[in-house]
Chains A and B, each alone.
Chain A
């Protein structure tokens, strides 16, 4: 078991390194240079030297990787000019983590819904996440407005979405994140398929003969958790969209702003962090499978 876990760890680290290199290569192939955006040539030369743009690509890549490994993610030069990236993203990362932490159990629960709800789940979760968010915000606002007009409720503190920061806004964003982008429908399909395979297996038949009734908590975790962890990339992508729609100043919001302002150092740092989260999630998913599934332990 330990060698397999170590192999998975090595694969995760390799993937992370590959992602860093791919991002660097993609940036190097881009037309122009960040210094071209500076109108004064003298200042552009100084900034080029400061950013290391006058050095060869390999030197810049090694330097960037070295800095990243020591926790220095660089400096923002457009979103918050001159501020260290770590400082810029510290607060937003926390808000995104809250969103993900709320969406994660919701997604796990939605994935366990019975087969008869599948068509409805597929139809709802096929909505692009921005459209689902738009519908939810419009619907909640309209319903609250009608209730206010009828005198049924007093004006809630969170009205009108999404302009006011509140737990309702965060909760709705997490709900949409779990349900949208085909995540819940896709996950439910996976869980149903795995459960059907499990129920058809020989050892399930033996367990039934011995009086075991249906899948226990371990089977639910075994089927659901790795599947949810495998959907972390879609959850992170959904965060970028939802933080724009719900006006949450999280890491996705900062990434969007960095992309709009062409603040590549900040954008690359966030993309690399996303890759680190995904590599860790894949590692955790495989680790869980190896630890929880007796068939895997025997390999």
Chain B
């Protein structure tokens, strides 16, 4: 089934989107596994060498290792956001399938979440519950939910009265199989993958913004937003060292936009 799902995902994505997905997956994996594997870690000061292909930052630290550490600062909140997004997506699928009052009530709740700007949600959550990566991830997952719910509802609700689905139910296929396997897994699978990649870009932008403005990760911990603050204007640094953090962040957000299926 997984092989068939993979084939379906590939059929529904262009070459540009596949490249974007691969790069974002690599950023996530490097963020989770990269920093602990690199000798010394992201706060180590060391001299110039071939080990620092992106140069050194204002404190002489390896920019490449700092970027890998920064990917970690994105990956952990993203894991939390994906968990919350997954739970929200399951609730959305169930409410769209159930319809009636349940769908209306869930839609109302999501409308209330959408009525407050996502950045304000995240800012308030960090202020009230503490400035941790878990809070950032959970708040980002909740703030991202309205878009996911809209995508799922648009795909699942029309199928409720579709003759093929009604025929399957009439032939004794359990409703849970119809909902989770036929509709969520097969019908919404590619869209859910795109939404997940969009969420990665959203979390990356949020984390970097908050770090840039001094609300979350601060020195000496690595963050792409921190690196932009401290290294961009330093004319005594190598050009590649000054540009690399901003370029990494832009590339991640752009790929997430592309992978999320920006199609006109």
Which residues of A does B touch, CB under 8 Å?
11, 14-16, 18-19, 22-23, 26-27, 30-31, 115, 118, 122-123, 126-131, 134-135, 138, 181-182, 185-186, 188-189, 192-193, 196, 233-234, 236-238, 240-241, 244-245, 255-256, 258-260, 262, 264, 267-268, 270-271, 274-275, 278-279, 282
Chain A residues closer than 8 Å to B140, beta-carbon distance: none
Cβ-neighbour of B119 out of A127, A240, A245, A262 (below 8 A): A240
A115, closest chain B residue (CB): B264
- Given known contacts A122-B254, A122-B262, A260-B127, A135 and B120 CB-to-CB distance under 8 angstroms: no
- Given known contacts A26-B125, A241-B213, A262-B127, A131 and B228 CB-to-CB distance under 8 angstroms: yes
B121, closest chain A residue (CB): A271
- Asked if B120 and A236 make an inter-chain contact with CB atoms under 8 angstroms apart, the answer reads yes
A267, closest chain B residue (CB): B124
A234–B146 Cα gap in the complex (Å)? 13
A268–B121 Cα gap in the complex (Å)? 10
- Given known contacts A244-B213, A256-B213, A234 and B117 CB-to-CB distance under 8 angstroms: yes
A115–B264 Cα gap in the complex (Å)? 8
Residue B238 interfacial (CB < 8 Å)? no
Residue B50 interfacial (CB < 8 Å)? no
Residue B47 interfacial (CB < 8 Å)? no
15 interchain pairs (CB within 8 A)?
A15-B112, A26-B125, A123-B254, A126-B250, A126-B256, A130-B209, A134-B228, A134-B246, A189-B262, A236-B117, A237-B120, A255-B120, A264-B128, A270-B120, A271-B120
B253, closest chain A residue (CB): A126
- Asked if A122 and B257 make an inter-chain contact with CB atoms under 8 angstroms apart, the answer reads yes
A279–B118 Cα gap in the complex (Å)? 15
B146, closest chain A residue (CB): A233
Per-residue CB contact flags for chain B residues 121-134 toward chain A (1 = under 8 Å, else 0) read: 00111111100000
A15–B146 Cα gap in the complex (Å)? 14
Cβ-neighbour of A192 out of B115, B228, B232, B264 (below 8 A): B264
B116, B233, B263 — which one has the most chain A CB atoms within 10 A of its CB?
Answer: B116
Residue B53 interfacial (CB < 8 Å)? no
Residue B77 interfacial (CB < 8 Å)? no
Beyond A123-B254, A131-B246, 7 additional contacts (C-beta under 8 Å) are A11-B111, A15-B111, A128-B209, A128-B249, A128-B250, A130-B209, A189-B264
- Asked if A237 and B117 make an inter-chain contact with CB atoms under 8 angstroms apart, the answer reads yes
A181–B233 Cα gap in the complex (Å)? 23
- Shortest Cβ gap from B11 to chain A (Å): 22
- Asked if B129 and A241 make an inter-chain contact with CB atoms under 8 angstroms apart, the answer reads no
A11, A182, A262 — which one has the most chain B CB atoms within 10 A of its CB?
Answer: A182
Which residues from 207 to 256 on chain B have a C-beta closer than 8 Å to any C-beta of chain A? Answer: 208-209, 212-213, 215, 225, 228, 232-233, 246, 249-250, 253-254, 256
User: Which 5 pairs across A and B sit closest by C-beta, in order of nearness?
Assistant: A237-B119, A18-B112, A237-B117, A259-B127, A192-B264
Residue B114 interfacial (CB < 8 Å)? yes
Residue B108 interfacial (CB < 8 Å)? yes
- Shortest Cβ gap from B250 to chain A (Å): 5
Which residues from 158 to 215 on chain B have a C-beta closer than 8 Å to any C-beta of chain A? Answer: 201, 205, 208-209, 212-213, 215
Chain A residues closer than 8 Å to B115, beta-carbon distance: 15-16, 18-19, 233, 275, 278-279, 282
Chain A residues closer than 8 Å to B120, beta-carbon distance: 236-237, 240, 255, 270-271, 274
A238, closest chain B residue (CB): B119
- Asked if A260 and B215 make an inter-chain contact with CB atoms under 8 angstroms apart, the answer reads yes
Cβ-neighbour of B232 out of A15, A138, A274 (below 8 A): A138
- Asked if A127 and B253 make an inter-chain contact with CB atoms under 8 angstroms apart, the answer reads yes
Residue B109 interfacial (CB < 8 Å)? yes
- Asked if A18 and B250 make an inter-chain contact with CB atoms under 8 angstroms apart, the answer reads no
Residue B113 interfacial (CB < 8 Å)? yes
